[in-house]
Chains A and B, each alone.
Chain A
């Protein structure tokens, strides 16, 4: 864990994003301190990537922010000019996304792509930029001679490293990793994550790490927020979340990963499938899949199916949105 995180770097307040009529993100609050690793976990379609794109301000129509604010070092990004945003992107916040390795231009040498990117943001000579690119590649554990390589000459893991190196180029305060290793093999995945940890130690940037793989977050993140159907249902320091998950969805997720050691027991996972956000369930959005939502318990059942639970602080830094915890 990093030193005492004091300065709030980024704050997301009541963020609401709609795709046409579908509300993909419905009132989310997040704050990221400088140098912190925040994990954002959830299944496909829960809105976690939309949050990332909103922070990065790269939402494209039909997606649009319909409510809330995103404050970077106290300044609201919503409503900034294109030119201001262009400067903010990559210099303050950069992003590595899942298919990022396909974002490299196949007909340009890796080094030239660094040059392009750097020259778009600052006045720097080509020679200077290439040297810097080589240094960056070395930082992510690659040979600096690879600046001369074309993307197709690199493996998937290597290309992902190149993208990470690019994300580091302007030493941003925050890097968003959106499923950065999902398409990679376990060994490569492990190496890249080790690399990110090491780089973070050296450069002290904050990280928003988005993944569906909760087990990875338990290991790498300082704090974890669990998203379900466009909302945050639980957030807590990683150790605490692993130790005492309070939301039934978090509990279910943790029960969905078979262990590699210890006795072999049957797991249950979570029945059903994530909801269709065009018609989100009434009340608590998790109630159709919740094992504790039983008609027998009439009073609670009525609340669960009709009233939306609010995210409440249960312990310092541990927030949960669940009627069970209130009761």
Chain B
């Protein structure tokens, strides 16, 4: 079958009005598709759990995360302090749950910004081609060749203000190129499909072809790219903060780990201010990676079919695999 239908995921994302029943609840079709895949279901539950914690953090945090209590420093986890306390006597549990807010928000926003830039530049470049494509290509290559982490270190080291928005801008700046490259490549495969030519032949202006015809067919890929950059931003952000290049007065997982490291708590056998934020970070990234894997599986039936066909040919010719 020569037919290349959109992935069900693209259709569901581009045409969100159709709901699918899962049990008794009606959920958007794309969500239902992702929930049916084992990997993305697990990932979505993890991410949803972290987001939920972040949202209700003011309700469950025991104290203001930066409150210090010199009478209760360096306490191991206990019923009173679930995750123990820091050398300042701050409650690590509160720091982790409140820090979830900033870490997740920063990751999501940086991911969104990078995705937006990448989608607009990458897809437009692919479709328009010519000099525009050359320039965007050059730009992405430049950003790809610059070693990202040293650049980040240098940029954030020189910045005077290190508020959240600055961090978002810095991270998006170094990450958009990865995505632009992926999306451009995918747009290139779509741009010569007949329906794009048909739209062109019927006189659609370029911007409408890019945003109205091409992009809706790439939503699942854009979503995948977003998830990818989301967790890379999370890691990068925490990494920068761990190196002391973030906003050190804020509460986030990276900052907590930073202070734990500065005060060499681990060396003194106090693993908790280090371990719990790291676990939270790891768990979130794991969730996002699973979601990404799920999106990939749901939206690439073609790949799966190809693999099957390969086996079929082997079987037919009686090769070893059969």
Assess A/B contact in the complex (Cβ within 8 A): yes
Query: Chain A interface: which of B57-65, B187-195, B243-251, B314-322?
Result: B314-322
6 additional A-B pairs beyond A90-B318, A113-B317, A120-B320, beta carbons within 8 Å, are A58-B315, A86-B322, A89-B318, A90-B317, A103-B316, A120-B322
Say if the beta carbon of B312 comes within 8 Å of chain A: yes
Chain A residues with CB under 8 Å of B311's CB are 60
B317 to chain A minimum Cβ distance, whole angstroms, is 5
| Chain A: CB-nearest residue to B315 | A58
Contact indicator A117/B312 (Cβ below 8 Å): no
Q: Which residues of A contact B21 (CB under 8 A)?
A: none
A151 CB, min distance to chain B CBs, angstroms:
12
Q: Is B313 an interface residue (CB 8 A)?
A: yes
Question: Counting CB contacts under 8 A, is A322 at the interface?
Answer: no
Determine if B308 is an interface residue (Cβ-Cβ < 8 Å). Answer: yes
Across the interface, B319 reaches (CB within 8 A) one of A97, A99, A117, namely A117
With A103-B317, A117-B317 already in contact, the answer to whether A60 and B322 are too (CB < 8 A) is no
B319: chain A residues at CB < 8 Å are 116-117, 120
Among B308, B313, B316, B320, the residue within 8 A (CB) of A89 is B316
A152 located at the interface, meaning its Cβ lies under 8 Å from any Cβ of chain B in the complex = no
A208 at the interface (CB under 8 A from B): no
Bound-complex Cα distance A148 to B313 (A)? 21
Cα A95 to Cα B315 with chains together (Å)? 11
Q: Are B312 and A58 in contact (CB under 8 A)?
A: yes
Give the dominant DSSP class at B's interface: helix
Assess the B316–A95 pair: CB atoms within 8 A. Answer: yes
CA distance A58 to B319 in the complex (A): 14
**Among B311, B317, B319, which residue has the most Cβ atoms of chain A within 10 A?**
B317
How many chain-A residues does the 8 Å CB contact rule pick out?
17
Bound complex: CA A159 to CA B316 (Å): 16
Residue among B309, B312, B315, B317 making CB contact with A116, cutoff 8 Å: B317
Bound together, the chains give a CA A117 to CA B322 distance in angstroms of 11
Q: Does A121 contact B (CB under 8 A)?
A: yes
In the complex, what's the smallest C-beta–C-beta distance from B4 to chain A, in angstroms?
Answer: 15
| B residues neighboring A (CB under 8 Å) | 308-309, 311-313, 315-320, 322
Question: What are 25 A-to-B residue pairs whose CB atoms are below 8 Å?
Answer: A56-B316, A58-B312, A58-B315, A58-B316, A60-B308, A60-B311, A60-B312, A82-B322, A86-B322, A89-B315, A89-B318, A89-B322, A90-B316, A90-B317, A97-B316, A99-B309, A103-B316, A103-B317, A113-B317, A116-B319, A117-B318, A117-B319, A120-B317, A120-B319, A166-B317
C-alpha spacing A56/B308, complex, angstroms: 16
Nearest-neighbor residue (CB-CB) of A44 within chain B:
B1
Nearest B residue (CB) for A97: B316
Name the distance in Å between A68's Cβ and chain B's nearest Cβ: 22
Q: Which residues of chain A are near B312, meaning CB under 8 Å? A: 58, 60
**Docked pose: A99 CA to B1 CA in angstroms:** 10
Minimum CB–CB distance from B313 to chain A (whole Å) comes to 4
**Interface, chain A (partner B; CB < 8 A):** 56, 58, 60, 82, 86, 89-90, 95, 97, 99, 103, 113, 116-117, 120-121, 166
CA distance A90 to B317 in the complex (A): 7
Measured between C-beta atoms, what is the minimum distance from B63 to chain A in Å? Answer: 56
Measured in the bound complex, the distance between the Cα atoms of B313 and A166 in whole Å is 12
Chain B min CB distance to A27 (Å) = 25
* Interchain CB contact under 8 A, B313 and A103: yes
A90: B residues at CB distance < 8 A: 316-318
Chain A residue numbers with a CB within 8 Å of B322 are 82, 86, 89, 120
How far is it, in angstroms, between the C-alpha of A309 and the C-alpha of B78 when the chains are bound?
78
Chain B residues near A103 (CB-CB < 8 A): 313, 316-317
Question: Which of chain B's residues have a CB closer than 8 A to the CB of A82?
Answer: 322
Of all chain B residues, which has the CB nearest A85? B322
Q: Which residue of chain B is the closest to A105 with respect to CB atoms?
A: B313
A117 vs B316: C-alpha distance in the bound complex, in angstroms?
9
Which 7 residue pairs across A and B have the least CB separation, nearest first?
A103-B313, A120-B318, A117-B317, A90-B318, A86-B322, A121-B318, A120-B319
Q: Residues of A contacting B308 with CB < 8 Å?
A: 60
A305 to B308, CA, bound (A): 39
What residues of chain B lie closer than 8 Å to A86, measured between beta carbons? Answer: 318, 322
* B155 CB → nearest A CB, Å: 45
Residues of chain B contacted by A89 (CB below 8 angstroms):
315-316, 318, 322
From residue A20, how far is it (CB to closest CB) to chain B in Å? 14
Q: CA separation between A148 and B221, bound complex, in Å?
A: 41
Residues of chain B with a CB closer than 8 A to A113's CB: 317
Cα–Cα distance between A86 and B309 once the two chains are bound (Å)? 17
Q: State the CA gap A64–B134 with chains docked (Å).
A: 52
Shortest distance from the beta carbon of B301 to any chain A beta carbon, whole Å: 13
Chain A contacts for B315, CB-based, 8 A: 58, 89
B-chain residues with CB within 8 Å of residue A116 when the two chains form the complex:
317, 319
CB-defined contacts of A56 to chain B, threshold 8 Å: 316
Chain B residue nearest to A89 (CB atoms) is B318
Note all chain A residues with C-beta closer than 8 A to B313. Answer: 103
- B320 to chain A: closest residue by CB: A120
B81 to chain A, nearest CB (A): 53
Nearest CB of chain A from residue B205's CB, rounded to whole Å:
35
Closest B residue to A166 using CB positions: B317
Q: Which single residue of chain B is at the shortest CB-CB distance from A56?
A: B316
C-alpha spacing A56/B312, complex, angstroms: 11
Minimum distance in angstroms from A266 CB to a CB of chain B: 29
Of all chain B residues, which has the CB nearest A120? Answer: B318
Q: Which residues of B contact A58 (CB under 8 A)?
A: 312, 315-316
Query: Cβ of B317: which chain A residues have Cβ within 8 Å of it?
Result: 90, 103, 113, 116-117, 120, 166
Compute how far the CA of A90 lies from the CA of B311 in the bound complex, rounded to whole angstroms.
16
Complex: A56 Cα to B322 Cα, angstroms? 13
